[in-house]
Structure 1
Amino acid sequence: MTPTEEYDYIVVGAGSAGCVLANRLSADASKSVLLLEAGPEDSSMWMKIPAGTTKVFGPSAVNWGYFTEPEPHLKDRKIYWPRGRTLGGSSSINGMVYLRGHPEDYDQWERLGNPGWGWKDVIPHFKRSEDQERGESALHGVGGGLSVTDLSIDDKAGRLFIEAAQNAGLPLRKDFNDGVQEGVGRAQVTVKDGRRSSTSVAFLHPVRGRRNLRIEVNALAERILFEGRRATGIRYTQGGIQKIAKARLEVVLAGGVINSPQLLMLSGVGPAGHLQEMGIDVVLNLPGVGQNLQDHLYVYYVAKCEKEISLNHQLSGPNLYLHAMRYFVNRSGYLNIGVVQATAFPRVTPDANRPNVEISFRPMSLNISKKGTIALDKFPGINASCSLLRPKARGQIRLASSNPRDYPLIQANYLNNTEDLHVMREGLRWIRKTFETEPLSQFITAEHAPGNAVQSDSEWEGFIRDAAQSVYHPVGTCAMGIDSMAVVDHELRVRGIDGLRVVDASVMPRITSSNTNAPTIMIGEKGADMIRAAARK
């Protein structure tokens, strides 16, 4: 007999939004909360160390390790998509960069039929999460769970890049999150005392002792249960045992851009024709489920350089052990380094009215294999990646089968239009120009990738299609709005279904113009407020 339990709220997915939800909903001692996570505890040492990101980047027990289907505009390459499968979700394996995006991102959400999601409306929710090292201000908060701090390592190469970018015309920015994005500087990170501040560390672990909060790991949600068109619970499997949890008030999906639409479709909510093809009974024809997929795409620019400004040799061989010892003794050394040491937001096309690429600079150079492994180059090198901020490309998530354990099919449709390709090309040219600008140029010995042979538009295009990778910022597959393809309304309620919400990055109708972790945490905060308000009514 299948065991059955009952709670007020069931939250599916303990990721960037799910941990926030579990914290805020369980703050009401009169309400019981069940948090289901498909992966294990976030106990790996590499999740705690800032430089440990490379160790959890590949497919593993804590990383879903997805791949797209062959991308037709990237020479039919399958693109690697790491996604966290552990407490904290992708915040436990990401690059820890804290960026909110541009105010216009949120004002556009509001214009698309989502009142209460403009820039001025979301600032209080960003502030609530934040424990800002620089102190409280009109735009920043202190006392929240999420540590937001300055970089602890002031590397020489990063300083040179920032000076070169200023000499190339960008203003110096002290804070990329104050509503004025264009410029160059050091972005802040979610790190505290030399350790990653994931959402599990920030929001979940401090409240694990609450009697009304139950956390179940290694628990794979298989189906949403319905009575008519009301969600009443979740069927999940844990340790080979199938279990049922009932929700008195609401079921909240926080599995992310892949798993939330997958679970909706497995449960009969989605495009009717596709569900019927999979042999799934249709509960509600909701054609937008799995559609509107957007992601940031990036390409590396790599330069060989003087050894004194590259960390390749410091993070490999005997030096790596030296820095590991320093880290474990007093949290010093280069294991404190994040994946980005300087950031720039330029406008790279004449028609742009705000930055249209994000440039991420690193004082080392990396090789990322097609299988998702990372290795440092043998030569002294540095790199900068160009990320397309507001892609026109739209993809989709589809089921491979009706089996919850089968990975869904991901088609991002990267670079399926000339505008995306044009902006990416000009962004890479901006990097080349900046690397050729003093004082950084004095330390560059050769351009490694793409190399000086790449000059014409068509040569850049070939390089981009060969080298482009995901920035791992997928959003949009359960978009909020009022059009025929919207999945949730502005209060994140699934349209046509009672007692069911989606609260994660999949609800973004348009991708934010920066890294997506901070906006996803904000969505968790705002979603929790909406859920609690509904319960009070």
Structure 2
Amino acid sequence: MTSLPVIPARPLQRAYDYIVVGAGSGGCAVARRLVDGSDATVLLIEAGASGIGVPEIYDPARWVPLGRSAYDWGYDYLATPHVNGRVIGIPRGKVLGGSSSINAMMWYRGHPMDYDAWEAAGAEGWSFRDVLPYFKLCEDWEDGKTEFRGAGGPLRIERSPALHPVAKAMLDGSPDIGIPVVDDPNGPGNEGVCYSNFNISGGRRWSSAKGYLWPILDNRRLTVLTGSLAVGLGFEGSRCISVRHLVDGDVVETRARSGIVLALGTIDTPRLLMMSGIGNPEDLKRLGVPVRLGLPGIGRNLQDHPLVQACVFRSRKPLGPVLDQGGGTMINWKSKASLPQADLHAFPVQGNSAEPRIRELYDLSGDVFSIGCGLMRSKSVGHMRLLSADPGGAVEIDPNYLAEPEDLEALVIGMEAMMELAATRAYADWFGGYLAPAKRLSRAEMVAFIRDACSTFFHTCGTCAMGKDERTVVDPRLRVHGIEGLTIADASVIPIIPTCNTHAPVTMIGERAAAFLLGTA
């Protein structure tokens, strides 16, 4: 790789106008817009490394092993009976760009109804009409600006320049099972099969770090501090005025003159709040943390999309080199015709993407391809709670997967459709038989398979939900209830999980958070 940026080594000041904690999809957007839109000084604190120049981060085909690497926080979901007692890992990026630097590079914002539901739930001013301009601000869409798409924004978005044959088979075969072709899943509707939108350009990942931060690293008003774990917040009365964070192993307290933005993500934003005495009083007392402010909604409302990993099929021939990030197309469709919008989602995998338990139960050797199938309108809601108030201490994270019978029923329907899809004419050159499941299953058998195969889309959200009632944590301008000078700009503020990957919504949230702080929204 050439022309890699360098993070200037600037001495840490005692105070900045703004401190942004967490350099993921939301934090990168906030930092960029604060620097561009004002004369403010900005400190961006990131616990992970810079990631600059790491080949695995920039090669789209090498993204999967980044989970459980040095660039991942290493979190797990709680093992529950709903998933047959299995531990499910949830990769979360610990690096500049956050999860946008280790994810599958999907740019997808779901259906307009998702955001209208946010507003109906109490997030006033977050309807699709309200958020669309901020989605467009993020985008540099390959087809240029339209009513629904943006151009010239920090994040480059492209389709696959050359689909892998198993991805093209999904595109060509879906109409045979009643799923139409849709041109753009980020348009007025998303139901159908389509090319995926990727944060990939020139065969390289286009992360939030690359898009939002790299162009402003030389700006002297921005200080980027990597390898610095936030361990607490400081207050004067009801105002948050500082961040305590580790620098070379020592705790340093840095003040903010105008405001502090938390963008540590769905797990670590509530963790930092609770460590600082803000949370459910019962939880704080259990941890021995003095209660500064009782906000019982912190850590509640955790949501994620369940993903069945996966339908695996024998391939008639070798699949060849991995193209794009191993996918290329996707499907959104309804488990029931009466639903107002698509709830099921599927994508091709150029190889074996089965969960460890499925690999134990089935012989998946040889040439194989897969289809991942999941639920984007899941009803099950869980929680996260600290088991220790120590920095980096144990945490319990439970999405409550498959607790709601409706979720399980929809996944059965989705899996059956994917097994039908693989047998269509479009797959004739590739489909060599069923491997996992090894045959068409009864409903009871399919339920058992799903419990063994259930995994995560990595779309954890909701633990500091936006709204106005006692269950929420931030108001519709993303300010923490009862605390001045403290804003949250990450997936934790999402009140209802949207029917999409969360990178695009969180980037939009970051754009809006900066606009609120700058007084332009």
Question: Does TM, normalized by the shorter one, top 0.5?
Answer: yes
- 1:206 matches 2:215: yes
The percent of aligned pairs where both chains have the same amino acid is 36
The one-letter amino acid paired with 1:233 is S
- Write the distance in 2 (CA, Å) between the matches of 1:54 and 1:443: 23
Q: How many residues align?
A: 504
The one-letter amino acid paired with 2:189 is V
Q: 2:370 aligns with which of 356, 370, 383?
A: 383
The one-letter amino acid paired with 2:314 is K
- Write the distance in 2 (CA, Å) between the matches of 1:142 and 1:28: 19
The one-letter amino acid paired with 2:396 is L
Q: 1:466 aligns with which of 452, 457, 466?
A: 452
Residue 359 of structure 1 corresponds to which residue in structure 2?
A: 346
- Write the distance in 2 (CA, Å) between the matches of 1:263 and 1:480: 17
- 1:121 matches 2:107: no
- Write the distance in 2 (CA, Å) between the matches of 1:70 and 1:113: 32
Shift of residue 120 of structure 1?
1.1
Q: 1:421 aligns with which of 408, 411, 436?
A: 408
Q: 2:436 aligns with which of 430, 446, 449?
A: 449
Residue 97 of structure 1 corresponds to which residue in structure 2?
A: 106
Residue 47 of structure 1 corresponds to which residue in structure 2?
A: 57
Matches within 5 A, 1:450-529: 450-452=437-439, 455-529=441-515
The answer to whether the Cα contact below 8 Å between 1:72 and 1:413 also exists between their aligned partners in 2 is no
- Which structure 2 residue ranges, 5 or more long, are not aligned? 1-11
Q: 1:274 aligns with which of 270, 283, 288?
A: 283
Matches within 5 A, 1:60-209: 60-209=69-218
Residue 303 of structure 1 corresponds to which residue in structure 2?
A: 313
The one-letter amino acid paired with 2:199 is T
The answer to whether the Cα contact below 8 Å between 2:475 and 2:481 also exists between their aligned partners in 1 is yes
Matches within 5 A, 1:253-402: 253-299=262-308, 300-307=310-317, 310-311=318-319, 314-315=320-321, 334=322, 336-369=323-356, 378-402=365-389
Show CA shifts across 1:344-396 (max 9, x none): 111122432211111111232234547x9xxx964121111111111111111
Shift of residue 72 of structure 1?
2.6
Residue 3 of structure 2 corresponds to which residue in structure 1?
A: none
Show CA shifts across 1:161-215 (max 9, x none): 2111111111111100002111101111001211110000000011011111111
**Structure 2 length-normalised TM:** 0.94
The one-letter amino acid paired with 2:495 is P
- Which structure 1 residue ranges, 5 or more long, are not aligned? 316-333
Q: Secondary structure at the match of 1:528?
A: helix
Shift of residue 136 of structure 1?
1.2
The answer to whether the Cα contact below 8 Å between 2:354 and 2:453 also exists between their aligned partners in 1 is no
Shift of residue 436 of structure 1?
1.9
Residue 8 of structure 2 corresponds to which residue in structure 1?
A: none
- Write the distance in 2 (CA, Å) between the matches of 1:339 and 1:506: 28
Q: 2:243 aligns with which of 234, 248, 257?
A: 234
Give the superposed CA RMSD.
1.7
- Write the distance in 1 (CA, Å) between the matches of 2:467 and 2:184: 31
Q: Secondary structure at the match of 1:17?
A: helix
The one-letter amino acid paired with 1:55 is P
**Structure 1 length-normalised TM:** 0.91
Residue 331 of structure 1 corresponds to which residue in structure 2?
A: none
Show CA shifts across 1:312-356 (max 9, x none): xx35xxxxxxxxxxxxxxxxxx4x521322101111224322111
Q: Secondary structure at the match of 1:27?
A: helix
The one-letter amino acid paired with 2:295 is L
The answer to whether the Cα contact below 8 Å between 2:326 and 2:350 also exists between their aligned partners in 1 is no
